[in-house]
Chains A and B, each alone.
Chain A
Amino acid sequence: MTAIARTKPEKRRYLVRMAMAMALYLTSLFAAEVLIEERGLSGWPAYMLAALPGLAFAAVFWIFVRLIVEERDEFFRMLYVRQMMVATGLTLTAAAVWGFMETYLPVPHLAAFWWPTIWCFGTGVGAVYNKITMGSYGECR
């Protein structure tokens, strides 16, 4: 039996959805680079195309929430909620601190798309926090 066939259905759905979101993200990012940056696409098509990578990134949050809803193991469900809370807490704290630093100090401006990126790293921190405090990383991280 292959590893993917042994995987629980909710985890398999999580991995497939994540792969699709990342494929959409990379494709739309590439299209925006080529069509807007290099070929000068403008007007509403440019706005729509520029929004696409961000929307693909937003899918990551929906995918994570679906994992929590679909997971049948209540212990893992709790681990995922804790993981999300750690990631959200870290990201919002970092955004608030950096925002005030940008206002009052000569620090470089950080593009807003870094915050969801930091959130994704935060889920990794959350998984480590779970391992230390609860003895398990959970299955998806």
Chain B
Amino acid sequence: MNNRLRVLRAERRWSQQDLADRLDVSRQSVNAIETGKYDPSLPLAFKIADVFELAIEEIFLRDVAEAAAE
């Protein structure tokens, strides 16, 4: 799953640690989500959406191959 976390974070001039503190998770978690190595659970995805004041689908995007298969 792709996401716009890095761009959204950069727009707000937040470091990974800043975002991690807001989400109450580790900086490593933010890095893993940003780099696409880890897909967050639904509760964490909602928390991320709340922090950015956006809808989940404005942050997380389906893979192109996944979308094409449907």
Please list the residues of chain A having a beta carbon within 8 angstroms of any beta carbon in chain B: 72-76, 78, 133-136, 139
Chain A residues, Cβ within 8 Å of B38: 75, 78, 134
Q: Is B32 an interface residue (CB 8 A)?
A: yes
Q: How far is the CA of A73 from the CA of B25 in the complex (A)?
A: 6
Whether B29 pairs with A74 at a CB distance below 8 angstroms is: yes
Q: A74-B29, A75-B38 are in contact. List 4 more A-B contacts (CB 8 A).
A: A75-B25, A75-B32, A136-B32, A139-B26
Instruction: Identify whether the interface residues of A are mostly helix, strand, loop, or mixed.
Output: helix
User: Does the CB pair B31–A135 fall under 8 Å?
Assistant: yes
Number of A-B contacts (CB under 8 A): 33
* Per-position 1/0 for B28-57, Cβ under 8 A of A: 110111010110110010000000000000
In the complex the two chains form, what is the Cα distance from A136 to B16 in whole Å? 14
Top 7 A-B pairs, shortest CB-CB distance: A75-B29, A136-B28, A73-B26, A73-B25, A134-B37, A75-B38, A75-B32
Kindly list chain A residues whose C-beta atoms are within 8 Å of the C-beta of B26: 73, 75-76, 139
Give the distance to chain A from B69, nearest Cβ to Cβ, in Å.
25
Contact between chains at B28 and A74 (CB < 8 Å): no
Pick the contact of B44 from A74, A133, A134, A136 — CB < 8 Å? A74
